[in-house]
Amino acid sequence: MSNNILIVAEGRDGSLRKASYEMATVAKEMARGLGGSIEAVTLGHDIGSCAESISKTGVTKVYQADDSSLATFAPETYATVLAGIIQKSQPGVILFPATGYGKELSARTAAKLDVGVVTDCTGFQVENGNLILKRPVYAGKALATIKPKSLPVMVSIRPNIFPPAAVDAASAPIEKVAVDAPPPRAKVLEKVEKEAVAVDLAEAKIVVSGGRGVKSPEGFATVRQLANTLGAAVGASRAAVDAGWIDYSTQVGQTGKTVAPQLYVACGISGAIQHLAGMSSSKYIVAINKDPDAPIFKVADYGIVGDLFEVVPVLNEEFQKVLSQK
């Protein structure tokens, strides 16, 4: 088995997701320690531009599995095709993004090939040629160190932890792979797109989130106004999502999305460990809470003790003034 690395790049609507470039950064650093080369694979239909993009991140080769049978993400078919590419490329480490796509695909492909998976990694090092991975456990309260007994190993990398690699290297050769997978037992009949959101939460530079303190669906209008002014994505705590005030897709935390924006504004969120697990890597955290002892203030760079329904509109007005002068 080689020490080579294979990146499983994830695309959506014809372009690569940011997490794919982040894996290229991880792969380069790992390859320095492991001493192998880096290849990448893209799967889907009409994904020429995805293959082009990842080919310019410093990889030596890209496998492009491009076929109408891969037009919609059908995990069974994708796993069969990917397993074939892995058998051909014989990598030591297979990197996936720890997104819904990467989680499902890594688990299925690992089962097919009888290979171990280390999920949701946030750090790694290579010591004497051995790969050592770090992943948060117990909702981020502890960090587990995992040393795979042998290669190959599949590793999923938590998004928004590593910087994305630049797309500035010379294009690596792209090999089109023949796709010949048996028809899947479950077929995707229809894909219903969620209502388009202005800014994608997982990739946003600014996130304004609301919690139980927002009190109602109408209360989220205040949060949304500030988000609109700042060009931010709207997030939420699980309490707000469970109350049905806002869609599940906005949940930040252990069982929601992991975000790492430049600025995270938490409105009426107490700062439970499970919420912090999804946002504590944000560069600057601003907390607005009427309880001065709320745990969120322990992680906040700036804290405002007050009623969010008074504070947020004032912030919104002031930001509008400042931004209109630009």
Candidates 140, 253, 261, 303: give the one binding ligand FAD (CB under 6 A). 253
Candidates 256, 264, 287, 300: give the one binding ligand FAD (CB under 6 A). 256
Write out the binding residues for ligand FAD, residues 49-78 only, by CB under 6 A.
none
Residue 222 interacts with ligand FAD (CB under 6 A)?
no
Q: Mention every residue, 6+ apart, whose C-beta is less than 8 A from residue 200.
A: 233
Place of tokens 């309490």: 239
Question: Given CA atoms 279, 116, 65, 69 in this order, what sign does their dihedral have?
Answer: negative
Place of tokens 């990467």: 102
Candidates 91, 97, 164, 211: give the one binding ligand FAD (CB under 6 A). 211
Comparing CB distances to ligand FAD, the nearer of 92 and 210 is 210
Residue 290 interacts with ligand FAD (CB under 6 A)?
yes
Interface segment toward ligand FAD; rule CB under 6 A; list 113-121, 127-135, 187-195, 253-261: 253-261
Residue 224 interacts with ligand FAD (CB under 6 A)?
no
With CB under 6 A, what is the number of residues at the site for ligand FAD? Answer: 28
Chain-centroid distance, C-alpha 283: 16
Residue 308 interacts with ligand FAD (CB under 6 A)?
yes
Cα separation, 25 vs 19, in Å, equals 10
Residue 294 interacts with ligand FAD (CB under 6 A)?
yes
Cα separation, 42 vs 93, in Å, equals 16
Comparing CB distances to ligand FAD, the nearer of 75 and 309 is 309
Interface segment toward ligand FAD; rule CB under 6 A; list 73-81, 90-98, 102-110, 265-273: 265-273
Within the chain, residue ranges assigned H as helices are 18-34, 48-55, 75-89, 100-113, 220-230, 238-242, 273-279, 296-299, 308-324
Number of helices and strands in the chain (H, E): 9, 17
Please choose, from the candidates 213, 236, 206, the residue with its C-alpha nearest in 3D space to the C-alpha of residue 319: 206
Give me the residues that bind ligand FAD (CB under 6 A), please. 211-213, 237-240, 251-256, 268-270, 272, 274-275, 278, 288-291, 294, 307-309
